[in-house]
């Protein structure tokens, strides 16, 4: 955002033109002289204030009465200029009531919590639904998403935000697996599940970024740029959201950075909402569906290969027998091999067609990003020009229009 270099005693160009016009005789308007106080006030407002970067902390909350207040306090202290958005997702343990009661306390007043903390609700159950609503409703320059279970350290927030605002990354991932996760986590199979998902994502979606391997897929501690948030289409409803966000960033070539963070297990008495097996299966199903939609050529080529293998196993003996005897004694095997071969060909051509459509869709998405960037620049320029309009209206004097006889 630009600032004016004129001093307080110099009027903007719009005011100079206006005063020049007022000094000329007008046959249709009778003017009233501009008061000195009005002109001085307009001149004093000539310098525009610089743009203040807006940081939004997004906290999905479902039955976290034991930890929600402590999480909000931590981020209020670590990010003094950030706005905190807590989205309650049908909590039944009075999480929102406890947060509301704390906002009325002296401790909250000292942190300016009444003006910085916003308590919202999302009635559609599931973390994916909450994140979709947060991304749609909250306006900011940088978004920091964190779970409400007090497993993430607020002191890491500045590093994640700096990765977006200072280094220009679109998504900064708080990496638990490279620090304390395996020693702090007490839930069985979660370690294995995290490693499995990480390996699948890097193998299937991240082959071209070997130097930028994603080290933690399921972490709930991330920072995003505005461009990423406002262009991200979220389809998942539950805990698959982290997988979808990561694949979205990889498939659309967003700049990604992983930073090791401190992780601690939930406080005693706090219960995880993640079901190891059912939610784990949903994550694997999400990876399968994302592979089909994001990399259709790979997906359907693999399907073609799986169909081609039994086709060859059934067809080769039939062909050998035919060339040696001129007969086809195993007609069912020949028919089955032809069916599998036809499926392989259809799968291959399906992958080619969908890959072409996917490339065109990516082109449209890039055009959407350009439009979004242009719109943000337009809003920024409008914000700069708005004070000038206000100053011009301040210097404007009342006129009465009267026709000359």
Tell me the H-state helices in 24-122: 36-44, 68-78, 95-103, 106-110, 113-116
User: How many C-beta atoms surround the C-beta of residue 36 within 10 A?
Assistant: 8
The gap from C-alpha 365 to its chain's centroid, in whole angstroms, comes to 15
| Cβ neighbours for 88, distance < 8 A, ≥ 6 positions apart | 61, 62, 95, 96, 119, 120, 121, 122
pLDDT tens sequence for the chain (405 residues): 334 444 444 444 544 554 455 455 444 434 434 444 443 444 444 344 445 679 999 999 999 999 999 999 999 999 999 999 999 999 999 999 999 999 999 999 999 999 999 999 999 999 999 999 999 999 999 999 999 999 999 999 999 999 999 999 999 999 999 988 988 887 878 889 999 999 999 999 987 666 578 999 999 999 999 999 999 999 999 999 999 999 999 999 999 999 999 999 988 888 888 888 899 999 999 999 999 999 999 999 999 999 999 999 999 988 988 888 888 888 899 999 999 999 999 999 999 999 999 999 999 999 988 988 888 887 777 654 444 444 444 344 334 444 444
Beta strands in 266-345 (DSSP E): none
Q: How far apart are CA 312 and CA 327, in angstroms?
A: 18
Q: How far apart are CA 122 and CA 185, in angstroms?
A: 29
Interhelix angle for 241-251 vs 276-294, to 10°?
20
Q: How far apart are CA 274 and CA 282, in angstroms?
A: 11
Helix (H) or strand (E) holding 128: helix 127-137
So what's the architecture of 55-294 in CATH? Answer: Alpha-Beta Complex (3.90)
pTM here is: 0.78
Sequential DSSP letters for 129-157: HHHHHHHHH---SEEEE--SSS-B-GGGH
Q: State how far the alpha carbon of 225 is from the alpha carbons of 142, 145, 169, 171, 377, in Å.
A: 5, 11, 7, 7, 15
- Beta-strand pair 55-61/83-88: parallel
Tokens of 49: 């204030």
Q: How far apart are CA 330 and CA 326, in angstroms?
A: 12
How buried is 162 (Cβ within 10 angstroms: 0-12 exposed, 13-18 middle, 19+ buried)?
Answer: middle
Beta strands in 278-376 (DSSP E): none
């Amino acid at each position: 955002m630009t600032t004016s270099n004129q001093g307080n005693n110099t009027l903007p160009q719009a005011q100079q033109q206006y005063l020049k016009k007022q000094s000329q005789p007008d046959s249709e308007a009778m003017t009233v002289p501009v008061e000195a106080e009005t002109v001085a006030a307009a001149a004093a407002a000539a310098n525009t204030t610089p743009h203040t970067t807006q940081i939004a902390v997004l906290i999905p909350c479902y039955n976290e009465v034991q930890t929600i207040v402590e999480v909000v306090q931590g981020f209020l202290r670590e990010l003094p200029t950030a706005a905190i958005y807590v989205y309650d997702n049908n909590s039944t343990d009075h999480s929102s009531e406890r947060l509301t009661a704390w906002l009325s306390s002296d401790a909250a007043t000292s942190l300016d919590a009444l003006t910085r903390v916003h308590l919202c609700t999302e009635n559609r159950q599931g973390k994916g639904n909450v994140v979709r609503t947060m991304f749609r409703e909250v306006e900011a320059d940088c978004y920091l998403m964190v779970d409400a279970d007090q497993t993430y350290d607020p002191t890491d927030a500045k590093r994640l935000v700096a990765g977006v605002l200072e280094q220009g990354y679109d998504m900064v991932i708080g990496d638990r697996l490279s620090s304390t996760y395996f020693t702090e986590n007490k839930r069985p199979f979660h370690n294995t599940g995290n490693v499995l998902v990480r390996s699948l994502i890097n193998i299937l979606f991240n082959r071209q970024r070997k130097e930028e391997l994603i080290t933690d897929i399921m972490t709930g501690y991330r920072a995003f740029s505005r461009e990423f948030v406002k262009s991200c289409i979220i389809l998942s409803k539950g805990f698959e959201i982290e997988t979808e966000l990561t694949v979205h960033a990889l498939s659309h070539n967003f700049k990604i950075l992983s930073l090791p963070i401190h992780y601690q297990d939930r406080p005693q008495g706090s219960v995880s909402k993640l079901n190891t097996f059912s939610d784990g299966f949903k994550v694997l199903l999400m990876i399968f569906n994302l592979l089909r939609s994001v990399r259709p050529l790979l997906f359907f080529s693999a399907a073609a290969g799986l169909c081609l293998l039994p086709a060859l196993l059934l067809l080769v003996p039939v062909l050998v027998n035919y060339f040696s005897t001129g007969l086809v004694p195993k007609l069912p095997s020949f028919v089955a091999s032809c069916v599998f071969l036809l499926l392989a060909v259809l799968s291959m051509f399906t992958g080619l067609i969908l890959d072409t459509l996917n490339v065109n869709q990516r082109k449209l998405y890039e055009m959407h990003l350009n439009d979004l960037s242009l719109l943000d620049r337009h809003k920024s320029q409008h914000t700069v020009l708005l004070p000038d309009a206000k100053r011009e209206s301040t210097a404007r004097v009342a006129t009465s229009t009267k026709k000359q006889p």
